[in-house]
Structure 1
Amino acid sequence: MAHHNLRTVVRFEFLRTLKKKSFWATTLIVPVVIGIVFGLVSFSGASASKSVSAQKGATISFLYLDESGLISAKLGKDSGGTPVTDRQAAIEAVRAGTADDFIYIPKSPAREAVQVYGKDLGLFESGKYSAAATHMIALAVKEKVNNPELTALAAGRVSFSETMFKDGKVSGGIYAVIPPLLFLALFYLVILFLGNQILNSTVEEKENRVTEMILTSVNPSSLIIGKILGILATGAVQMLTVGVPAAVGFIFLRGRAGIPDVSLAALIPSPSSMIVGALLLTVGFILFAGALVAIGSMMPTAKDANGLFGAIVITMFVPLYAVPLILSDPGSPVVQVFTYFPLSAPVTAMLRNGLGSLSGGEAAFVITELFILGAAAIALAVKLFRHGSIQYTSKVRLRAAFTRRR
């Protein structure tokens, strides 16, 4: 009978959430916003690239004074320049509008700034003046060196191919960090999207005054566990709804829309890091879900319960402020405290797991700790709900809940 009631609660909680328009609105808005952002980034990138290319290839008329001797008369003429001898007169000509652009090249352009004076054409269009000066100087250097390879090296146009090894095998580098850290993203997604629902899952029955009727057919343990499992199932639906379009978009849009062209082989992580990440996500969710249900079981109204939700969320984001320390010194006392303190442990451990600084022993300890504390939080939630199921006007006192009646 208990198992039957548990399945009933899970099914009811799952279907009730899926039927809510707010659930789908919240879930679908994430991929829609991501798609819009990537579209805007792609459009802006294409426009900027087109503008830069146009500026590089543009031929404009300008005055120039070359005190370095780099620019030959032929190169200056071919670039659209007219040589002058009076610097101040050329500047005044641009100021008066009789000339559009004046380029002054000092005796040592490597140590002194090349000065460009021009008519203001707007934030982006005015960049063509500096582009013309840069192009002309680059051609002059190429003429002097007369060696395309040395010119390219001097300009810093050098490509590198890097291969790193870890434990005798080729390491994926920065890209191998991404898959384990996806568990951290999913953890934030589930808690932020479903946290309020978990918190209010027991408060709704109390506010609707139906707890007495529910407890006549379902025991508190089945009710609480069923609600958590049902909400976890809706969380899986959310993760698939957001994750599948993101994965498909990444695969087909690599190298476009601002997405780096990363080889899929480079994203293959070690199986151990993925297993640890999945376990940390599961036990972290159990702990936070148990804590939120326990808070909801204590409070008489959703308004009272939501006041504590912010405090829970803050503890999730505090470890992010220690990311530089986690990267540079994962063994520091601060990082260790964050790793083992229950409310910051899931985020910190998942960060360290993705970055490769979480040892097997630390991972086993944190997973065991969170599982035990999560089970304890669920047991506490059951006890609080049983004690305060008909306490509609005031919050449940922990001392009263644990005091046995004579």
Structure 2
Amino acid sequence: MNNDRRGANRHNLGTVISFEFRRTVLKPKFWLISLSVPLLIAVVVGLSALSGQATAQRAENQDTAPLSFSYTDASGLIDPAVAKAAGGIEAGNAATARADVVAGRAQCHIDYPKDPLSQPIDVQGKDLGLFDSGRYSAVAMSVFNASIEKRIGDPVLAKLAVHNPEVQLVTYANGAPTPGIAGVIAPGIFLVLFYLAVLMLGNQMLNVTLEEKENRVTEMILTTMNPTTLIVGKVLALVGIGIVQGLVVGIPASVLFGLLSNNLGLPEASAGVPTLGSIPINAGAVAIGFFLFLFSFLMFTGLLVAIGAVMPSAKEAGNTFGIVVMSMFIPLYAASLLVSDPHGVVSQIFTFFPLTAPVSALLRNATGGLYWWEATIALAVLAICGWLFLTLGVRLFRTGSISYGSRVKIGRALGWKTRR
């Protein structure tokens, strides 16, 4: 008899998983929402690329377009030949030259001060628009730098005097080179995936227990199926749906990132650091990020299942869902503190408190500020809370499934006796 019951439970579990998965995946709305994310990413990247090309073209046009200006030089550092080659004519009176610009009779006037180290270079010019007017300042600095280079004489010393040399930094930890800022990308992907998963699947998590209550079919379902089997099947189907959405979003984004990685200006990984394409990979941080993402997803799923079991309708559950989502964004306001002081008291509280632990732990892990024992505690907190929330949701759904018009009393559903 027990074997028959276990077999029936396994059959029911498979039936629930298959039904929920196919019902969601076969909806056009599912694919519309899933494909809209990579499409939006492609549109943003495309607009950024077009903007960059337009900016480069505008800068090229500015460099080739003629510019006439007058200048006065109280410092004695400006070389007249250099200024003339740039289109400049030395003015006898600075006030008169500035008045000509204000009246529209001249395009630009540059006034080089006596002590450029403590005084600014004063530039007045005809308005060319918000971006193109910046050309005046560029010409003023170009003439100044070229004059200094010519005065020094030695080309190498001249370039060192006006241009900072490039610095290549390599840092080490435990005798091995560290990847630097580029190392945030691989473990940081799990933080992005967590936000996408909750925001895209949050309503489905909430409706795991609400749908049957709103359709008044709970009693009929529970006569043929264990509530634990029903909810676990729905949650597992939700995990499968999340995997499909992750692949739909992740594969196009990865291909797009691979095509554009050389144009993103990422620093090269240090020698000895394993990479995937141009992205350095820290296997330990990636593994911790994966498990933090998985347990965080299950914890929020259990919490939303419990909320859905208590609320009588999706409308009332939506208000509580908003509060839960807000808790996900609270750590972002403290992101600078989590990164700059990852082992401080505030960071510890954010990392070990269940509702803020997912984002805080994922952020600290991505930036290299999460010790292994802190990761272990955070994973334990998420796993325990996820199990408790899911167990609570099943219990509330079992005892309060017929409370169609009102909220389930948690104490009464759990069998707690109250004293007058």
TM range, normalised to the smaller chain? over 0.9
Residue 302 of structure 1 and its aligned partner are, at CA, apart by 0.8
Task: Quote the residue 1:78 is aligned against.
Answer: 85
Contact 1:253 1:259 in 2 (8 A): no
Distance 1:76 1:364 in 2: 65
Q: Which of the numbers 91, 104, 109 marks the counterpart of 1:97?
A: 104
Alignment of 1:4-403 (within 5 A): 4-256=11-263, 260=266, 264=275, 267-403=279-415
Distance 2:37 2:282 in 1: 29
Moved more, 144-153 or 20-29: 20-29
Q: Which secondary structure does the structure 2 equivalent of 1:367 belong to?
A: helix
Contact 2:150 2:158 in 1 (8 A): no
Distance 1:369 1:101 in 2: 65
Residue 259 of structure 1 and its aligned partner are, at CA, apart by 6.0
Letter in 2 for 1:7: G
Q: Structure with the greater relative contact order (CA < 8 A, sep ≥ 6): 1 or 2?
A: 1
Q: Which secondary structure does the structure 2 equivalent of 1:202 belong to?
A: helix
Residue 299 of structure 1 and its aligned partner are, at CA, apart by 1.3
Letter in 2 for 1:369: V
Distance 2:79 2:367 in 1: 54
Residue 93 of structure 1 and its aligned partner are, at CA, apart by 1.9
Distance 1:28 1:326 in 2: 33
Q: Which secondary structure does the structure 2 equivalent of 1:102 belong to?
A: strand
Moved more, 312-321 or 68-77: 68-77
Residue 44 of structure 1 and its aligned partner are, at CA, apart by 1.3
Letter in 2 for 1:392: Y
Number of equivalent positions: 404
Distance 2:362 2:79 in 1: 61
Residue 341 of structure 1 and its aligned partner are, at CA, apart by 1.4
Task: Quote the residue 2:3 is aligned against.
Answer: none
What TM-score do the two structures reach when normalised by structure 1?
Answer: 0.94
Contact 1:254 1:261 in 2 (8 A): no
Moved more, 298-307 or 119-128: 119-128
Moved more, 148-157 or 137-146: 148-157
Q: Which secondary structure does the structure 1 equivalent of 2:334 belong to?
A: helix
Distance 2:98 2:283 in 1: 66
Residue 261 of structure 1 and its aligned partner are, at CA, apart by 6.5
The 1:292–1:120 alpha-carbon spacing in structure 2 relative to 1, beyond 3 Å, is: same
Distance 1:237 1:144 in 2: 66
Letter in 2 for 1:349: A
Letter in 2 for 1:353: N
Distance 1:58 1:154 in 2: 28
Letter in 1 for 2:338: I
Distance 2:133 2:292 in 1: 53
Contact 1:56 1:131 in 2 (8 A): no
Distance 2:416 2:116 in 1: 87
Q: Deviations over 1:188-211 (max 9, x none)?
A: 111111111110122111111111
Contact 1:254 1:262 in 2 (8 A): no
Contact 1:172 1:268 in 2 (8 A): yes
Contact 2:149 2:159 in 1 (8 A): no
Residue 404 of structure 1 and its aligned partner are, at CA, apart by 8.2
Distance 2:214 2:75 in 1: 83
Contact 2:16 2:233 in 1 (8 A): yes
Distance 1:16 1:310 in 2: 26
The 1:102–1:365 alpha-carbon spacing in structure 2 relative to 1, beyond 3 Å, is: closer
Task: Quote the residue 2:5 is aligned against.
Answer: none
The 1:118–1:14 alpha-carbon spacing in structure 2 relative to 1, beyond 3 Å, is: same
The 1:346–1:54 alpha-carbon spacing in structure 2 relative to 1, beyond 3 Å, is: same
Q: Percent identity?
A: 43
Q: Which secondary structure does the structure 1 equivalent of 2:167 belong to?
A: coil
Distance 1:253 1:170 in 2: 26
Distance 1:133 1:364 in 2: 58
4+ residue runs over 4 A deviation: 261-266
Residue 7 of structure 1 and its aligned partner are, at CA, apart by 0.9
Residue 51 of structure 1 and its aligned partner are, at CA, apart by 1.9
Distance 2:234 2:125 in 1: 69
Distance 2:252 2:194 in 1: 18
Distance 1:70 1:47 in 2: 35
Q: Deviations over 1:165-208 (max 9, x none)?
A: 11111111111122112111111111111111110122111111
Contact 2:208 2:234 in 1 (8 A): yes
